[in-house]
Structure 1
Amino acid sequence: MDIVSFLIGMSWMSAFVALLLAFFLLTVETNNKISNRLFAAYLLLFAIDNSGLFINENFIKEHLNLEFFRWTTSSLILPVFYLYIVSVCFTDFRLSPKYLLHLAPFIAENLIFAFRLYFVDDVEKMKFYDHHNQMPEFYSLLSIGAIQVVFYSIAVFSVLRKYRAIYQENYTNPRTSIYKWLIQISTVLFTLYYLSIAKNGLRYADFELLWIWANVVLQFLLLVIICWFVLKALNHPELFRGIDSKLQLARDILPKETSIAEVKNNKSEAITLQISALKDYMAEKEPFLDPSLTIQELSNQINIPVRDLSVLINHHIDQHFFDFVNEYRIQKAMNILKDQSKSQLTVLEILYEVGFNSKSSFNTSFKKYTNLTPTAYRNAS
C-alpha cells in the first residue's frame, strides 16, 4: 500500500468513527443534551472537513458548489468546540442569539464564494478548482482558519480559567476533575491545530511527500484523541456536570474603589468575630463532611450572606473556599489515621468519612498539607 492510499484509509476511518460517535451522542438518553449535541456537531463538522481526502474526484467535479461549500464549513469547527467547552463548564448554558456572532467567518466566506464561485459557469469553477491552492480566496480560508485557532485557543482557556476560579471560591472537591479533563483535552487539541497550521505551510513548499506524511500523522493523532474524548465521557459521566456561570468571584464583589490589599489589612473587630464564629462552626458542626458542600449552603447554615462569606474566606482568611474546607477534612483524616482504635479503617473508608469522594483528590490534598501520603502518615504516627 502506498502512502497516499494509507492516508485515504486513515481519513475514511477517522470520518467513520466521528460519524458513529456523533450518531450515538445524538440518540443516547442523557441530561447533558446540549453538550452532547454540540460535541456531535463538532464530530460531524470534523467528518465533513476530513472527507476532502477521500471523496471521489469525479463526484467533486460534478458538484463543485458542494465542494466549495464544504471548504467553508471548516470555519464552524472551532466555534462549536468552544461552545461545547462552555456548555460542559456551566450548567446554566443555553444557546442564545449572541452566539450567532461565531457564524460571521462562515457567512463572510460564503458571501465571497457566492459572487466569486457559486454563480459562475462551470468552466470558471473548474479553472478555480484546478488552481485553488494559488487563489486568494483559498489563502483567505487558510488565514481565517489560522486566526480562529489563535482566537479560540485564547477563548477556551479563558473560560477554563474562569471556571477554575469560580469553582475554587464556591465549591469543594467532588468536581475538580472536570477542570483537569477539559484542560487536558483542550491543550492536546489546540496543539494539533497549531501543528495543522504548520502543516498547511508545507502545501506551498516543495515537500509534497512530507506534507502527505504530516497529514497521516495528524489524522492518526486526531482519531486517537476523539476516541479518548468520547470514551472518557462515557466511562466518567461525572466529569461533565458544570457550575453556575452567574456566580461572582470575590474580587468582583468588592466595591470598585476598594482594593484587595485594603480589605486584607482592614480586619475590624466585627470581621475578627466573624472569622472566629466561622472556624468554631466548622470545628463543632463539621459541615465539611458533606462532600457536595458549597459556599451557598454554608452561608445558609451560618447565617452570613454569601457575598460577605466569600469575601471573608477568600480575602480576610486568604484561602479559596475549596482549600478552606479541605483543610478541615484533612485535619479530621489525620486524627483518624493517628487513632489506633480506628486502625482497621482503610484509607478509602476514611476519605469518604471526612467528606471526600475521590481517592485521587484526597491523596493530592493530603500530600499538599502533610507532604506525605495517607498511608505513609499512618505508618509514621
Structure 2
Amino acid sequence: MLQKGFILVLSCLGVFQALFLCIYLFSLQKGNRLANRLLALVLLGLTIRIGKSIFHNYIALDPRIRNLAIAAILTVGPFLWWYGKALFQKDFSISKKQFIHLIPFAIYVLCSPIIPNQGDVLSSIAYFSVFLHFGVYIFISYRYALQQKNTSNVKLKTWYNRIVIGVSVTWFLYVGIFFGFIPFYILGAISFSFLVYMFSYLLLKRHVFALEKYRSSTIDRDESQKLLSSLKLLFENEEIYLQQTISLQIIAKKLSISPRQLSQVINENEDKNFSEFVNYYRIQKAKKMLVDSSYISEKIATIAYDCGFGNVTSFNLAFKKETKYTPSQYKKQFCLNGCQV
C-alpha cells in the first residue's frame, strides 16, 4: 500500500511539473516563441497520455476518455519535428499545408467513441497504430537532427538531441509494455516524471533560450571553428592576453569580425565567455611562472600583474576556479619536486 502511494505521488508530481513547464513555455515572451510553444505542445501531448496511465492504473476510465488521451500522442511526433525546424530554421513557420500531419489526431478524436479500447485484437491494432505513427515521427526527428551537421550552434543541436532521446525513451517503454517486455504498466509514468525533472534541471542550469542567442548568425560551424583556430594562434603567438587593456572589441578588430561574432565563436566552441577564455590563458601562464625556478622569489602579486590581471583578488578567484588551488597552494604543491609540474 505504501509503495503504491509513493508511486502515485511520484507520477503525479511529474505530471504537475510537466504542466508547469507547459504554462511557462506558452507564456514566455523572450527567445524563439514558436519553438517554445511547440516544445510546450510536445510536453502537453505526453502529459495527457501519461496522466491517463496514472488514472487508469488506479481508476477505471471510460474507453472514450482513454481514446482521447491516446489521441494526444498523435500530436507529439509532428510537434517534436516542427520544434527542431523552429530551432534551426530562421524563418520557419507552420503553413496551412503542414497541418496535414495532424489529420490522424483529428480522425482519432472524432472516432474516439467508436474506436475499440477493451483489450481485444482490434483495440491492440488501434493502439499499436498510434505508437507506430509516433515512432515514425521520432525517426524523422532523429534524421532531421543528423542533418544539422553544419550548424555552428553545437549546444542547441545537443539540446534538441536530448529532447528527442527523452521522448524516445518514453516511446520505447510504452512499446515494451504493449508487447509485454515490461511488466509494470505504471513504469512509463514514473520514467516520464524523471525525464521531466531532468529537463527542468537542464533548463535551469543551461537555459535553452540562451542557446538561441546566435540563431540569426550567418557563421556556420566550419567558419566558427576556423575563427577559433585563428583566435588561439593570436593568443599563443602574440600573448595578447597579458595586456590588461584587452577587450572583446580589440580582439574582434584584429580578426576582422564583429564583437558579437567573436563572442559567438567562443561561447559555442569553448563553452566560455570572453573573460573566461582570456583568464584560461592567463592562468596557464601563471601556472608555469609559479613553478619556474627563475620566479621562485617573486610575489604572487607580481605574477598576477605580469599575467594580465588588474588585481590580486581577481587573480586568486580565477586561479582557484581553474585549478581548485589558490596560487600559494599550487606553488607549494608543485614546487616539491624541483619546481617542475
Q: Does 1:196 align with 2:174?
A: yes
Q: Deviations over 1:46-67 (max 9, x none)?
A: 2211232216646x35xx3x65
Query: Taking structure 1 as reference, are residues 349 and 299 closer, same or farther at Cα in structure 2, changes over 3 Å only?
Result: closer
Deviation at 1:301, TM superposition (A): 0.6
Deviation at 1:141, TM superposition (A): 1.4
Match of 1:217 in 2: 187
Match of 1:50 in 2: 50
Deviation at 1:32, TM superposition (A): 6.1
Q: TM-score normalized by structure 1?
A: 0.56
Q: Does 1:333 align with 2:283?
A: yes
Q: Pick from 75, 100, 106: which aligns with 1:110? A: 106
| Contact kept? 2:11, 2:189, Cα under 8 Å | yes
Show the 5 A alignment for 1:1-381: 1=1, 11-27=11-27, 33-53=33-53, 54=55, 57=60, 60-61=62-63, 64=64, 67-84=66-83, 93=90, 96-97=93-94, 101=98, 103-111=99-107, 117=111, 125=114, 128-131=116-119, 133-135=121-123, 136-156=125-145, 158-159=147-148, 162-163=150-151, 166-167=152-153, 187-202=165-180, 210-211=182-183, 213=184, 215-234=185-204, 236-237=206-207, 240-242=210-212, 243-244=214-215, 247-249=218-220, 279=234, 283=238, 285-286=240-241, 301-302=253-254, 304=256, 322=270, 330-337=280-287, 338-339=289-290, 340-342=298-300, 349-350=314-315, 359=321, 379-380=333-334, 381=339
Q: Deviations over 1:11-33 (max 9, x none)?
A: 54433332233334444675564
Measured in 2, the distance between the counterparts of 1:107 and 1:347 equals 65
The aligned amino acid for 1:50 is: I
Deviation at 1:85, TM superposition (A): 5.6
Deviation at 1:96, TM superposition (A): 0.4
| Contact kept? 1:73, 1:106, Cα under 8 Å | no
Measured in 2, the distance between the counterparts of 1:351 and 1:104 equals 60
| Contact kept? 2:50, 2:192, Cα under 8 Å | no
Measured in 2, the distance between the counterparts of 1:105 and 1:37 equals 17
Runs of 5+ consecutive residues of structure 1 not aligned to the other structure: 169-175, 254-263, 265-274, 314-319, 367-371
Identity %: 13
Runs of 5+ consecutive residues of structure 2 not aligned to the other structure: 291-297, 305-310
Query: Taking structure 1 as reference, are residues 200 and 97 closer, same or farther at Cα in structure 2, changes over 3 Å only?
Result: same
Q: TM-score normalized by structure 2?
A: 0.61
Query: Taking structure 1 as reference, are residues 28 and 134 closer, same or farther at Cα in structure 2, changes over 3 Å only?
Result: same
Measured in 2, the distance between the counterparts of 1:238 and 1:188 equals 15
> What is the aligned-residue RMSD (CA, Å)?
5.3
| Contact kept? 1:15, 1:46, Cα under 8 Å | no
Query: Taking structure 1 as reference, are residues 30 and 334 closer, same or farther at Cα in structure 2, changes over 3 Å only?
Result: same
Instruction: Report how many residues are paired.
Output: 300
Measured in 2, the distance between the counterparts of 1:180 and 1:347 equals 38
Measured in 2, the distance between the counterparts of 1:180 and 1:226 equals 17
